[in-house]
Amino acid sequence: MKQTSIFTVCLVLIIGFLLSACQGQSPLSFLRPTETPLPPTATAPLAPTATVTVTPTITPTFAPTATVTPSKMTIPAGSVTAPILLYHHVSTNSDTQDSRYNIPPEKFEEQMKWLFDNGYQTITISELADLIYEGGEIPQRPVVITFDDGNIDNYNNAFPILKKYGFVATFYIVQIYMNGRDMISTDQVKDLIKNGWEIGSHSKTHESLPSVSEELLPEEIRMSKINLEEKLGVPINSFAYPYGEINENVVRLTSRYGYKSAVGLGESITHTMQSIFYLQRIEIENDFSMETFISKLPWSGPIQ
Ligand SMILES: [Zn+2]
């Protein structure tokens, strides 16, 4: 009787073993610590031996990369905190090299790399303005990079560096400078637009607007917008005051002529409805050390 029952137990075990093997599942499969389901499109190769042999690769080699990509957050309308940086030249040209308004390309790259390494993501000025008006999704560490005037070195030197880090910028162009000597061409501006850049107006002639006559102000503010829109085929929604100089009338006309925002100079990084027609931009100057550059920025180190 005892022998029979032992025999029966053995028989049941063997049948069980064979049945589970037939179902394509190894009876030793519980030894594999990480059974990750295959994606539905992947077809698992039917290897008959695999059901009996335990695979020696039990340590998962996949490392999560989620912490590398900075996440976004949603904010209400009314206020946005983001530094807006202002550049003019990014050049090795001897004419501009020593100018306070020039950043050598290597230094510019060092600054962009720091922003990238510290989790900053670029937004355009109109994205920032829309967030003030309506709220919405914003990177955890947003930064707006702007260029003034329309210098060709911005296209030749700054654009490739920004592209390398997945950054975009907002370019304020003086209407009559476009296609001029050492200035950006219409086609080059269109190329920037294709690459996600925003274009704004920096007036028609770059005169300080408080000293422009009442009759000529519409030319500088309104007609420069219309002219750039016709040439480039995109809406021009933002205006940069030449030299950051304004008076009440200049601001009033800018808001009346169809712009959604305007930018000037200053150190503030928090922008509201009260400042939407004079968003402050931090001018990055030639003699800034990396420490000075970093001191202008609100966030550094790993994102929490
Ligand atoms: Zn300017």
Quote the ligand 1 centre to 64 CA distance (angstroms).
Answer: 45
Beta bridge partners of 145: 85
> What is the percentage of the chain residues whose pLDDT exceeds 90?
73
Quote the ligand 1 centre to 165 CA distance (angstroms).
Answer: 26
Cβ < 5 A residues, ion ligand 1: 148-149
Whole-model pTM?
A: 0.77
Establish if 73 belongs to a structural domain.
no
Tell me the mean pLDDT in the region 224-244. Answer: 98
Query: 197 and 124 in one domain?
Result: yes
The Cα 76–Cα 87 span in angstroms is 29
Quote the ligand 1 centre to 189 CA distance (angstroms).
Answer: 17
> Does the pLDDT value for residue 21 go beyond 90?
no
**C-beta separation of 239 from 200 below 8 A:** yes
Distances, alpha carbon 54 to alpha carbons 29, 50, 59, 113, in Å: 7, 7, 13, 47
Indicate the SS3 state at residue 188.
Answer: helix
Establish if 271 belongs to a structural domain.
yes
Q: Provide the CATH number for the domain around residue 158.
A: 3.20.20.370
Quote the ligand 1 centre to 150 CA distance (angstroms).
Answer: 9
Per-state percent for the chain, helix, strand, coil, to nearest 5: 40, 15, 45
**C-beta separation of 100 from 160 below 8 A:** no
> Does the pLDDT value for residue 132 go beyond 90?
yes
Query: 279 and 141 in one domain?
Result: yes
Domain total in the chain? 2
The Cα 126–Cα 140 span in angstroms is 17
The Cα 186–Cα 19 span in angstroms is 74
Quote the ligand 1 centre to 208 CA distance (angstroms).
Answer: 10
The Cα 130–Cα 80 span in angstroms is 10
Query: 116 and 12 in one domain?
Result: no
Query: 145 and 257 in one domain?
Result: yes
Per-residue pLDDT, 212 = 98
Interval 168-198: pLDDT, tens: 999 999 999 999 999 999 999 999 999 999 9
Catalogue the E-assigned strands of the chain: 72-75, 79-81, 84-87, 121-122, 136-139, 142-149, 170-173, 198-201, 238-240, 261-263, 270-272, 282-283
Quote the ligand 1 centre to 290 CA distance (angstroms).
Answer: 24
> Does the pLDDT value for residue 44 go beyond 90?
no
Per-residue pLDDT, 94 = 74
Tell me the mean pLDDT in the region 159-170. Answer: 98
Interval 61-117: pLDDT, tens: 444 444 445 689 999 999 999 999 999 999 988 777 778 899 999 999 999 999 999
Interval 246-299: pLDDT, tens: 999 999 999 999 999 999 999 999 999 999 999 999 999 999 999 999 999 999
